[in-house]
Amino acid sequence: MKTIPSVPIPIPIPIPIPILDLRPAQFFDQSHIIGSASFPVSELFERLHELPIRTQAVELFGSVSELEIATQFLSSKGYHISQTQVANQQKLLELQQSNNLAFGKSYQRLWQPAKIVKRFVDDYSLHCDNKTGLDLACGSGRDAVYMSMQGFSMTAVDYLPSALEKLSDLAIRCEQSVKTIQLDLEKFHQEKQLSSLSLLEEYYGCLVVVRYLHRPSLLQLKSLIDIGGYIVYQTFMRGCEKFGSPKNPRYLLESGELALAFSDFDILVDQVEYLADGRPTNCFIAKRMK
């Protein structure tokens, strides 16, 4: 009788559930659960952009009142709270005895950059000689800070001071330094006969644009990219309007629009990527050749 060789069944590696420590930062710095992230309850609202994606379950650690406030707030934002632990002396002692306590400041990154930015860093950044980057319409800065963490000297532009403040706070927490410029990218400066983009007069090794489209200046973006430099773009496409915002065609890329605009570049990635809610985005990376 022939014996059929048994095929080993792969055992899935469990992904640890992020633990948010809601206590004031000085308590966290004294001691905290290994791997947990400091999110004092008073900062939760301002630091929503630093939380993991909403489909991810989270655990909470804090006083009874901190747990109550955070559970209510995070549930209203769509998070699933899988466990809450009351932080008291007894609990901290137990954690210490089981070697689950860490001491001192630490930053646990729970957020992710845009997928296309991660792909650029993983697959192309090694070939990028000019390690300067510009993040246009940067928002609260996850992509600019992530690029900075990967060794790029980053400049980030947005017209909202509040977004730039959040970016700077995030950069400090991640021990990075990102130059910020407050600028309306869609403004034409009559007196100088210049668009805002012309004011950024520099050649960057990588130009990042995520979830933003200003069609009239699309072609002008090229003049900000160094020869051998890259454009890294991800934004919504026509078809989004069926699932949510944006609905205005002004903010929705047509299929093949980026490829056409950058047809004189070497196109390395040009894919449609669907977000979890079904909205289509165009993920695009191209290299300036001349």
Ligand X SMILES: C[S@@+](CC[C@H](N)C(=O)[O-])C[C@H]1O[C@@H](n2cnc3c(N)ncnc32)[C@H](O)[C@@H]1O
Note the residues at the interface with ligand X (CB under 6 A). Answer: 114, 137-139, 142, 158-160, 163, 184-186, 210-212
Identify which of residues 109 and 211 has a Cβ nearer to ligand X in the complex.
211
Taking the alpha carbons at both ends of the chain, their separation in whole angstroms is 67
In terms of phi and psi (left: phi > 0; alpha: psi -120 to 50; beta: otherwise), the region of 158 is beta
Tokens of 162: 């509040």
Buried residues in 121-146 as b, exposed as e (16+ CB within 10 A): beebbeebebebbbbbbbbbbbbbbb
Paired sense of beta strands 153-158 and 179-182, if any: parallel
DSSP-derived pairing of the beta strands 225-236 and 280-287: antiparallel
Amino acid (one-letter) located at 62: G
Give SS3 for 283. strand
DSSP labels, 235-252: EEBTTGGGTSS--SGGGS
Which residue in this structure is represented by tokens 């960057």?
Answer: 204
Cβ pair 198, 173 in contact under 8 A: no
- 239/246 with CB nearer ligand X: 246
CB of 49 to ligand X, least distance (A): 7
Cα 275 from chain centroid (whole Å): 14
Least Å distance between CB 39 and ligand X? 19
Coil, helix or strand at residue 92: helix
**Residue 18: DSSP 8-state:** P
Distance CA(290)–CA(286), nearest Å, equals: 12
Q: How far is the CB of 185 from ligand X (least distance, A)?
A: 4
- Which residues contact residue 122 at a Cβ distance below 8 angstroms, ignoring those fewer than 6 apart? none
Nearest to ligand X of 154, 210 (CB atom): 210
**Residue 160 or residue 259: which is nearer to ligand X going by CB?**
160
- Measured from the CB atom, the residue of 142 and 288 that comes closer to ligand X is 142
Query: Residue number with the shortest CB distance to ligand X?
Result: 139
The smaller minimum CB distance to ligand X, of residues 40 and 113, is found at 113
CB of 162 to ligand X, least distance (A): 9
How far is 123 from 204, CA to CA, in rounded Å? 18
Instruction: For ligand X, give the closer residue by CB, 115 or 131.
Output: 115
Shortest gap between Cβ of 253 and ligand X (angstroms)?
14
- Least distance in Å: CB of 160 to ligand X? 4
Query: Closest separation between CB of residue 204 and ligand X, Å?
Result: 16
Rank residues 27 and 159 by Cβ distance to ligand X and give the closer one: 159
In the complex, minimum distance from the CB of residue 135 to ligand X, in angstroms, rounded to a whole number: 7
